[in-house]
Structure 1
């Protein structure tokens, strides 16, 4: 599998994860302080959405890199593209 090689994309994903980490610390603090369950659940939903969004962003970066590489290396058959599509399918299957 590919890694995030583009510095801009890497920074974007890391910043999103740091923001979610801060939200999680806030939720822990809310629980320790005995805050309302509905408020805590609302914050948990926000963190889940932030992580899902970050996962989609990371998956898009991966797809962009792999597709650029596959198009740059023409081959006689479609095995390279098939491999990229299988990797994408695997990543998208984890979104659930």
Structure 2
């Protein structure tokens, strides 16, 4: 299985996960303080979207690494690959 080597993508994913972690702590605090269920549900929805977004980004990073290693360093291939992966990320984002 592939390992995420791109530092920029790694940093982006970690930031997304840390943001979701902060949101989860906020939800725990809301429950402890007796907030309304509707407000808590709204925050839970936001966390789910954040995790879905991180998952999509991770999937695209995996695909990019795997395809790049197979296509090599051809400039035309890299441009086509980037365009294709942008479309894949858009399509995956729509199924959330």
Residue 6 of structure 1 and its aligned partner are, at CA, apart by: 0.4
> Which of the pair has more CA radius of gyration?
1
Match of 1:69 in 2: 69
Q: What is the CA deviation profile of residues 4-40 of structure 1, one whole-angstrom value per residue up to 9, with x for unaligned ones?
A: 1000000000000000000000000000000000000
RMSD (Å) for aligned C-alpha atoms: 1.5
Helix, strand or coil: the match of 2:14?
A: helix
Structure 1 residue ranges (4+ consecutive) displaced by more than 3 angstroms after TM superposition = none
Partner of 2:5: 5
1:71 shift after superposition: 1.1
Match of 1:28 in 2: 28
Name the counterpart of 1:40.
Answer: 40
* CA offset digits 1:27-61 (Å, max 9, x no partner): 00000000000000000000000000000001101
Matched positions, count: 75
TM-score (norm 1): 0.74
Distance in structure 1 (CA, Å) of the matches to 2:6 and 2:71: 18
TM-score scaled by length of structure 2: 0.74
The structure in which a higher percent of residues are helix is 2
Distance 1:58 1:8 in 2: 12
